[in-house]
Structure 1
Amino acid sequence: MRYCIAFFVYLFSMFIGISNGYTQTIISSNLDFKSPNSEIICKIISNEKGDASYQIFYHNTILLDHSQLGLELSTKGNLNRFKQIILCQKSSQVAQYSILNAKKYSINHSYNLYKILLINDTDTLPMEFKMFDDGLAFRYVIKNNSGKAIQVEKENTSFQFLPETKAFLQPVAVAKSGWEATNPSYEENYQQDIPVGMQESTKTGWVYPALFHKGNTWMAITEAGLDGNYCATRLDPISTNGNYSIAFPDLKETIIKNGGILPKSKQSFYSPWRVITIGSLKSLVESTLGTDVADEAKYPESLCKTGQASWSWINSKDDFIVYEEQKKYIDFAASMHWKYCLIDVNWDQKIGYEKMAELSKYGQSKNVGLLLWYNSAGDWNTVKYTPKTKLLTHESREAEFSKLQKMGIKGIKVDFFGGDGQSVIKYYIDILNDAAHYGLMVNFHGATLPRGWARTYPNLMTTEAVKGFESVTFEQKAADQEANHVTMLPFTRNLFDPMDFTPMNLYKIPTHVHRKTTPTFELATSVVLLSGIQHFAESPEGMSHEPDYVKSFLQNLPTHWDDVKFLDGYPGKFIVIARKSGEKWFVAGLNGDSSSCKIDLDLSFLPKNAKGKIFTDGYASNSIMQNDFANKPSELTLKANGGFVLVFE
């Protein structure tokens, strides 16, 4: 038996290319993996029945109990019972990377890497674990030398929470439901502080990131490193006794008929990383774990040109995607020193390519680049907006992107994907690759969570995957929920990935909907929420009502951040966060509650003599006032659904 195991180890070593670090062979029925500071421990266990599982401990307290490991493959059957676990490699790693489109620019991190084999009598399942001081990540290696496709029929990974754990979870919408059959688009509200084990009402699952806490210890579960061989996953809607399993998409979530749902490849491939961030709320909000494990950048950083954008559709909708209205919004962007103007649906019909080329030249004369909207869809939903079917094949994308490049267009917004199947994920990645070759930035809308793609594809500027401000303009219910919803997002959807919420309506919504947040709440979203290109929901007419100091703030708002500090908050209730750009610190707070709240502001991280400006809600209705502010312990009172912004130089 040991000769057989040694041979498996040899094959695995050849496959994963072990060439440095500390390599060892330990054959056991259980192994302990530790974070660099030894505060997080992951125990891998194979019991007498051969069930492979893992446990997670934090500060010697159990967080996840026996949670299942394993896959079911089309060629090998169920790989979740293993007689032995072999540790093939343990090494300590230090890594550094930079990313413009994130909560901090220069990121240094260390981790312990473990590569193992789960073995039964005839098969092996390689796995990789990365242990960080703020969490861990693991993935499966699906080895294939057969020349035939291997399909993952099921992933057995689960997360067994203790009964006292509470959760913040967003349901997955039913596939092909909603407006023009475009769901799922990750556009639901989070259910907050619910007991683990509660069944999801639509019976479709829970999206990532999924947030949990046991007392003061918090955990965020997500996935990263998703490529075109695997589908996006979710947590199963049934979580009996707090055991949440990985679930695959609905069979309808595909862009080709009768296929393209499950992970499949004719070559060896990986599952995405299963990412578990662990610690205090401060640890989670400041963590970069979701991009730390993503694949390295495939293209130069120069493809990522962060900035702000004007956008007419959020206020005036479909009928005003016309030449003169878009010219007005180009002028608006120029007056606000914003880099971009987004032109939305049906521009090809209402403006046309020739006139759009004129608008592009006009924008260039004002130092404003244009971003153009596209319908991703072929025949998998009923959306009629155009341009449509332009991006379906590599050849059609090249023809369209070449045309846009010659017109001087800076980027595209691609909408209505409606699925997480493997074929849809491959479609996202194909668009990113082809757009990169033509220097085009990308915004995915009506889309899936990007799962660390912004690191791998620097031209991915942002992705919706959220119930954004456009929903507030549609219905009063969304407006009533906005403050609570937005104060959830820094802890969940916007935790690792850029988010196209399209925030900041300062004056009023030009529809029947009454906005419930204060102007300074809206102003603070420009700092709290992260997006590579931030599409603002204010109009030229609305901005004309704002004082010069508000305009100056927005004209000089940074386009990316160098550092982040979480100061205080609780999901769905309030948040205070500080972001640094150059020598400036921006501190912003949001009150997600319908009653006022008091916040103790600790700015001890700033120089003692630091002085700044504070923006708060004014005494007059719907107004913002500015005052001087010194760095000293302070107590701020925020209005109901209100906020504040501080700027220190």
Structure 2
Amino acid sequence: MLCLGLLGQRAAAQQIASPDGQLKLDFVLQAGGVPTYSFTYKGRPVIKPSRLGLVLKEGPDLASGFAVAGTSTRSFDETWQPVWGEVKNIRNHYNELTVRLTQAATKRAMVLHFRVFDDGLGFRYEFPKQPALEYFTVKEEATQFALAGDHKAFWLPGDYDTQEYSTVTSKLSEVRGLMKAATTPNASQTPFSPTGLQTPLMLKSADGLYINLHEAALLDYSTLSLELDDKNMVLNAHLTPDALGDKGHLQTPCLSPWRTVIVSDRAGAILESKLVLNLNEPTKYPDVSWIKPIKYVGVWWEMITGKSTWAYTNASNIKLDSLDYRQVKPNGMHAANTAHVKEYIDFAAQHHLDAVLVEGWNTGWEDWFGQGKDYVFDFVTPYPDFDVPELHRYAASKGVKIIMHHETSSSVRNYERHMEQAYQFMNDNGYDAVKSGYVGNILPRGEHHYGQWLNNHYLYAITEAARHHIMVNAHEAVRPTGLARTYPNLIGNEAARGTEYEAFGGNNADHTTILPFTRLIGGPMDYTPGIFQTRISAYNPSNKSFVHSTLARQLALYVTMYSPLQMAADLPETYNKHLDAFQFIEDVAVDWDDTKVLEAEPGDYITIARKAKGKNDWFVGSTCDENGRTSTISLGFLDSGKTYLATIYADGKHAHYEKNPQAYAIRKLSVTRNTRLTQYCAPGGGYAISLVVK
């Protein structure tokens, strides 16, 4: 609760504005030496006066008793080029205020850094090397975000172990009453409060301000969640604890992650923001030539739907050191077999896709889930029906890569014990990308997916992979905070409810109109779109789930759900029935020179245009919620004086995500930058457009 006596004597005050002067940050040291900040946009309050600091496990807190020892300001302006991304060039332009604080009673020092961009604010804590503060344990972070009203929020239940919930749209005052229903079951979950919320948190004020709260550069620190004080509309920092309940173990000199506030009166500006990336350091790798965006198919969806299995046999109670798989009866449903994988490789080669993901290729899948076993997988031993050398040879002959899969079963110690051998096995057999998984409760017991210990492990896996020139797509890992700028082999993450949930009951029809405003703020998502057969029963008669999307919108997601790693997630046999629609997946780029947000409103619709890397081709995607809509866009982003062939993949006349999802229509027309297009989007639908210079 924000009591503070903020109307009392102001001991010190500093202000800094964004380069365009529209955003202003005020720092005030309140009575009692309490550091606070506030933030405005065009004179409108975004964050009212809010506390700063840390609460420590032992000794006086770093949250009061401070005096200002000095301040400094600077301006910074650079343009840098990402290894892969939504645009070719990113401008990093901000004004910075640095406040040096001393705590007279303890002789300790803390430094606050505030960076104000034209699209928002980043601030962090620095703890210099000092005799009075060497090692310390964080009990909680005292950071607050005091809001100016009871905003509309797009939120997930606060949880130490999963983000795989459906987003709830409500006023903040309604969170408490909706929390129980929102906290649906998951393989590993630890909800922490009836008013706990995750970041990125998307908000909209009654007077039309769009506000996004998150963090950047999460390194050697615990993940930030938010505890809502719903009486005062204050969001208090809440860090993920370790097995002992501690929130962080730090040694000076050290830095916290950045706390971020992106704000605009235009929804599309939130999607265009590069603030989180800009608050991360440049890449650590001198050579990035081995990091390549990927479009792939995979032996995956057929297991998710229940048509096939990851496991080779139906035996259980497996002990790897005593089991000979040649002596057990195969279940006849194992998908990762040599002949079947070759079919996927053939399809990838025929349609100019880069790679094939294969899950369930390695021993151990019979008896791993939920048992808390420390040693399940060794990450190098294939099942008897999976011929590693032959598939390496066959894929190479077709110009296709195979993507490795490492399901750790959340036994982090076991993964680290095998990591070097597993990565070397990949090098030896032609794999240059890995999808890792962390399903289930973490081992060692008591640790959480988003604690400091696990965050350090995830980075260790990425940097060790880089030594082997391997790209990483981490599932069930921590949500991204822009670290892909620094470590660009982190080419994908799950960290949200992806397409797989469509086979487990379904995502809401508005799901993909929200994720770009929330989960994707910190980095790309391996959402795995491209499902054409939306009735799961077509693959598994016992599964009555369906994909809450039309076929046309599945195409649009390749544009609206940005990722340099894009999967054509359905089965080749289904794509072969709709090759006219699949042409868009074959054509669409996965790396971009430019991006324009044409329309956007969180929870309702998003329309985005992107220009392919190194080409003149543009692609447009539009997704809408369960209500449907008519979209009208200008093609003014196209080059002047050029005519383009537009191929429009749209919902059919009577399309509906539930009643008639496979109804689509394709038409072609000539367009220029003066063209305006009007296109109907069915409920749960959308459209996709390719634009090629004639």
TM class by shorter chain equals 0.7 to 0.9
Give the structure 2 partner of residue 472 of structure 1: 502
Distance 1:130 1:576 in 2: 30
Distance 2:147 2:389 in 1: 56
SS, match of residue 294 in structure 1: coil
CA contact (8 A) 1:73 1:79 kept: yes
The one-letter amino acid paired with 1:606 is L
CA contact (8 A) 1:303 1:458 kept: no
- The aligned length equals 591
Distance 2:147 2:553 in 1: 35
Q: Within 5 A, what are the aligned runs for 1:75-90?
A: 76-90=59-73
Superposition deviation, residue 351 in structure 1: 3.4
Distance 2:404 2:385 in 1: 11
CA contact (8 A) 1:151 1:262 kept: yes
Change (3 A) 1:514 1:421: closer
Q: Within 5 A, what are the aligned runs for 1:215-234?
A: 215-227=207-219, 229-234=220-225
CA contact (8 A) 1:99 1:455 kept: yes
Give the structure 1 partner of residue 317 of structure 2: none
Change (3 A) 1:248 1:240: farther
Distance 1:303 1:232 in 2: 30
CA contact (8 A) 1:442 1:462 kept: yes
Identity %: 25
> RMSD of the alignment, in Å?
2.3
Point out where structure 1 has 5 or more consecutive residues left out of the alignment.
1-26, 176-183, 253-257, 381-388
**Corresponding residue to 2:652 among 618, 625, 641:** 618
Distance 1:334 1:421 in 2: 41
The one-letter amino acid paired with 1:578 is A
Give the structure 1 partner of residue 116 of structure 2: 131
Give the structure 2 partner of residue 357 of structure 1: 389
**1:140-195 deviations in whole A, cap 9, x for unaligned?**
0123445953222221001000124221111134x5xxxxxxxx221111111423
CA contact (8 A) 1:30 1:85 kept: no
Change (3 A) 1:81 1:484: same
**Corresponding residue to 1:290 among 270, 276, 296:** 276
Give the structure 2 partner of residue 386 of structure 1: none
Superposition deviation, residue 212 in structure 1: 1.1
Give the structure 2 partner of residue 269 of structure 1: 254
Q: Within 5 A, what are the aligned runs for 1:481-560?
A: 481=508, 483-508=509-534, 509=536, 510-511=539-540, 512-548=544-580, 550-560=581-591
**Corresponding residue to 1:403 among 425, 430, 452:** 425
Distance 2:150 2:222 in 1: 32
Change (3 A) 1:110 1:504: same
Change (3 A) 1:330 1:145: farther
SS, match of residue 425 in structure 1: helix
**Corresponding residue to 1:561 among 586, 592, 595:** 592
Change (3 A) 1:51 1:430: same
SS, match of residue 416 in structure 2: coil
Q: TM-score, normalized by length of structure 2?
A: 0.81
Distance 1:409 1:34 in 2: 48
**1:290-345 deviations in whole A, cap 9, x for unaligned?**
11101221113324210111112112342312222222112222122111111113
Give the structure 1 partner of residue 234 of structure 2: 243
**Corresponding residue to 1:441 among 471, 475, 478:** 471
Distance 1:334 1:244 in 2: 51
**Corresponding residue to 2:199 among 194, 199, 208:** 208
**Corresponding residue to 1:391 among 412, 415, 420:** 415
Q: Within 5 A, what are the aligned runs for 1:93-492?
A: 93-121=76-104, 122-146=107-131, 148-173=134-159, 175=160, 184-195=161-172, 198-199=175-176, 200-201=179-180, 202-204=191-193, 205-214=196-205, 215-227=207-219, 229-252=220-243, 258=244, 262-279=247-264, 280-299=266-285, 300-317=287-304, 318=310, 319-348=334-363, 351=383, 355-377=387-409, 379=411, 391-393=415-417, 396-416=418-438, 419-475=449-505, 478-479=506-507, 481=508, 483-492=509-518
**1:216-272 deviations in whole A, cap 9, x for unaligned?**
211111111111x211121125544210011111445xxxxx58x532233411100
**1:98-155 deviations in whole A, cap 9, x for unaligned?**
2244322321221112211123323321111111000010100123445953222221
Give the structure 1 partner of residue 184 of structure 2: none
1:43 equivalent to 2:26? Answer yes
Superposition deviation, residue 529 in structure 1: 0.8
Distance 1:554 1:427 in 2: 34
Distance 1:197 1:46 in 2: 33
CA contact (8 A) 2:649 2:664 kept: yes
CA contact (8 A) 2:216 2:522 kept: no
Deviates more, 1:80-89 or 1:349-358: 349-358
Give the structure 2 partner of residue 11 of structure 1: none
Change (3 A) 1:602 1:438: same
Distance 2:638 2:209 in 1: 27
The one-letter amino acid paired with 1:642 is G
Q: TM-score, normalized by length of structure 1?
A: 0.86
1:583 equivalent to 2:623? Answer no
Superposition deviation, residue 276 in structure 1: 0.8
Change (3 A) 1:597 1:342: same
Give the structure 2 partner of residue 19 of structure 1: none
CA contact (8 A) 2:11 2:30 kept: no
Deviates more, 1:615-624 or 1:127-136: 615-624
CA contact (8 A) 2:94 2:117 kept: yes
**1:464-520 deviations in whole A, cap 9, x for unaligned?**
011111110122xx25x1x21111111111123110111110233323323342110
CA contact (8 A) 1:28 1:86 kept: no
The one-letter amino acid paired with 1:585 is W
Give the structure 2 partner of residue 24 of structure 1: none
SS, match of residue 222 in structure 2: coil
